[in-house]
């Protein structure tokens, strides 16, 4: 028996280079996250100090607790969560039915609607916050969590519609029809068959919407004065704040993002692989 011949040296060499490149890019992405984590878990003296440690020599919660106990931070976290929950509920309540309609029905105007939704991507949504200020004052929505959430919904809605539509396309129409042949109403077939099957995808879409809202800075900073979300509060205070406050704050916004990616990983491509048409 002879051993399988080894691939030629040039092949092996290029394989090594490919791995090397992959690792280098991964380092570029992971190293900054690692470094800010080191800062967040170092005592304040180290955070102020120089040179900075590349390894976490002294692990401490001092910096993080300093940040959390700073005036207004907990309130702004509460606001952030409130805004994000409003946003995901409203955008799912409005977006999922539209996505379902796109997935299930062939009807005149469907293509126009789809193009309309796609074309919203050509607009810089964030700047909508400036004209909305006056509208909100007249509606009594200024400086409110709901007001911010309504704008975040406008930002998230087109994506929610397209994503839920692709989720419902993935649940075969036959399944709902089969339920209807066995005594379900249209709505019953949706509730008993389509909804449970679409649920994981819808949840991923909801988490994504939550993150979009949690991360959004510009509109939140413009539309609020007292009831700021966490990013809005941070951006306003940032340049007058001590270094530990900044680093802990940055790390604090980052953590849910990493957790989100763990949950939504399986759905990443169905969430973002949405193509034009």
Partner 1 sequence: MKPRRRANLEPYLLLLPSLAYLAVFFAWPMVQAFGLAFRADDGRWTAEFFQRMIGDAAFWPALRTTLILVVTIIPLQFILALIMALLATAGLRGAGALIYFYALPIAVSDLAAGIVWFSIFTERGYLNTILQGLGLLERPFIFLQYGATWSLIAVILAEVWRATSIVFVILVAGLQGIPKEYHEAAEVFGAGWFARLRRITLPLLRPSIQVALILRTILAFQVFAVVVALTGDGVKVLASEAYQWYSQWRNLNVAAAYAALILAISLLSTVIYLRALRTRTEALTV
Partner 2 sequence: MAEIRIENVRKEFGKVVAVKDVSLVIPDREFIVLLGPSGCGKTTLLRCIAGLEQVDGGRVYFGDRDVTDLPVRQRRISMVFQSYAVFPHMTVFENIAFGLRMQHKPDVEVKRRVQAAAELLHIEELLARYPAQLSGGQRQRVAVARAIAYDADVLLMDEPLSNLDALLRLEMRAELKRLIEELQTTVVYVTHDQVEALSLGDRIAVMKQGEILQVDSPLTVYDRPAAHFVGSFIGNPPMNFLPARVIDGGAGLTVGEARLMLVGEMADAARRVGSQEVWLGIRAENIEPLTGPGPTTLPGRILVVEPLGSHTLLTVRTAEAMIKVNARADAPFRADQPVWLKLSADKVRLLDKTTGRAL
**Could you tell me the two tokens for 92?**
């799912």
Q: What token pair was written down for 41? A: 């878990």
Q: Which of 13, 16, 54, 199 binds partner 1 (CB under 8 A)?
A: 54
Establish how many alpha carbons lie within 13 A of residue 139's alpha carbon, considering only the half-sphere containing its beta carbon. Answer: 12
Contacts of 13 (CB under 8 A, 6+ apart): none
175 binds, among partner 1, partner 2, none (CB under 5 to 8 A by kind): partner 2
235: contact with partner 2 by CB under 8 A: no
**Number of residues binding to partner 2, judged by CB under 8 A:** 17
Q: Which of residues 186-215 bind partner 2 (CB under 8 A)?
A: 186, 188, 193, 196-197
CA 14 to chain centre: 37
Does 211 sit near partner 1 (CB under 8 A)? yes
State in angstroms the smallest separation of the CB of 134 from partner 1: 7
Helices (H) and strands (E) in the chain, counts: 14, 0
Contact residue for partner 1 among 5, 8, 124, 140 (CB under 8 A): 124
Q: What is the dihedral of CA 140, 144, 148, 150, to 10 degrees?
A: -50
Among positions 94-113, residues that touch partner 1 (CB under 8 A) are: 94-95, 97-98, 100-102, 104-105, 107, 109-110, 113
- State yes or no: residue 64 binds partner 1 (CB under 8 A): no
Place of tokens 């919660």: 61
Structure token pair of residue 91:
């955008």
115 binds partner 1 (CB under 8 A): no
Task: Work out whether 123 is an interface residue with partner 1 (CB under 8 A).
Answer: yes
Torsions phi, psi of 216, nearest 5? -70, 130
Yes or no: say if 198 and 171 are a contact pair by the CB < 8 Å rule.
Answer: yes
Cβ proximity to partner 2, 24 vs 182, nearer residue:
182
Q: Which stretch binds partner 1 (CB under 8 A): 66-74, 172-180, 192-200, 229-237?
A: 229-237
Tokens (6 digits) for 70:
């700073």
Residues 139, 151: Cα–Cα separation, whole Å? 14
Residues 258-277 that bind partner 1 (CB under 8 A): 258, 260-261, 264-265, 268-269, 272-277
Residue 184 binding partner 1, by CB under 8 A: no
16 part of the interface to partner 1, by CB under 8 A: no
120 binds partner 1 (CB under 8 A): yes
Rounded to an integer, what distance in angstroms lies between the CA atom of residue 17 and that of residue 10?
A: 10
Q: Which residues bind partner 2 (CB under 8 A)?
A: 172, 174-175, 177-186, 188, 193, 196-197
């Amino acid at each position: 028996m002879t051993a399988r011949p080894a691939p030629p040296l040039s092949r092996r060499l290029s394989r090594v280079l490919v791995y090397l490149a992959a690792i280098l890019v991964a380092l570029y992405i992971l190293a900054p996250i690692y470094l800010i984590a080191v800062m967040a878990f170092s005592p304040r003296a180290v955070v102020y100090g120089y040179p900075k440690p590349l390894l976490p020599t002294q692990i401490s919660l001092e910096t993080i607790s300093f940040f959390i106990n700073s005036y207004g931070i907990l309130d702004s976290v509460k606001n952030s969560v409130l805004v994000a929950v409003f946003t995901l509920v409203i955008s799912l309540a409005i977006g999922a039915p539209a996505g379902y309609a796109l997935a299930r029905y062939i009807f005149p105007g469907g293509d126009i609607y789809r193009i309309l939704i796609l074309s919203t991507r050509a607009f810089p949504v964030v700047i909508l916050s400036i004209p909305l200020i006056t509208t909100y004052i007249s509606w009594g929505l200024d400086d409110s969590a709901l007001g911010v959430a309504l704008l975040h919904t406008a930002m998230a809605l087109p994506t929610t519609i397209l994503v839920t539509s692709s989720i419902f396309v993935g649940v075969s129409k036959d399944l709902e029809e089969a339920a209807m042949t066995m005594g379900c109403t249209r709505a019953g077939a949706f509730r008993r068959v389509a909804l449970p099957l679409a649920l994981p995808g819808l949840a991923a879409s909801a988490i994504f919407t939550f993150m979009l809202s949690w991360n959004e800075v510009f509109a939140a900073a413009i539309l609020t004065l007292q009831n700021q979300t966490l990013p809005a509060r941070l951006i306003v205070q940032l340049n007058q704040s001590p270094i530990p406050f900044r680093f802990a704050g940055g790390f604090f916004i980052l953590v849910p993002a990493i957790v989100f990616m763990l949950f939504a990983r399986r759905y990443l491509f169905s969430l973002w692989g949405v193509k034009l048409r």
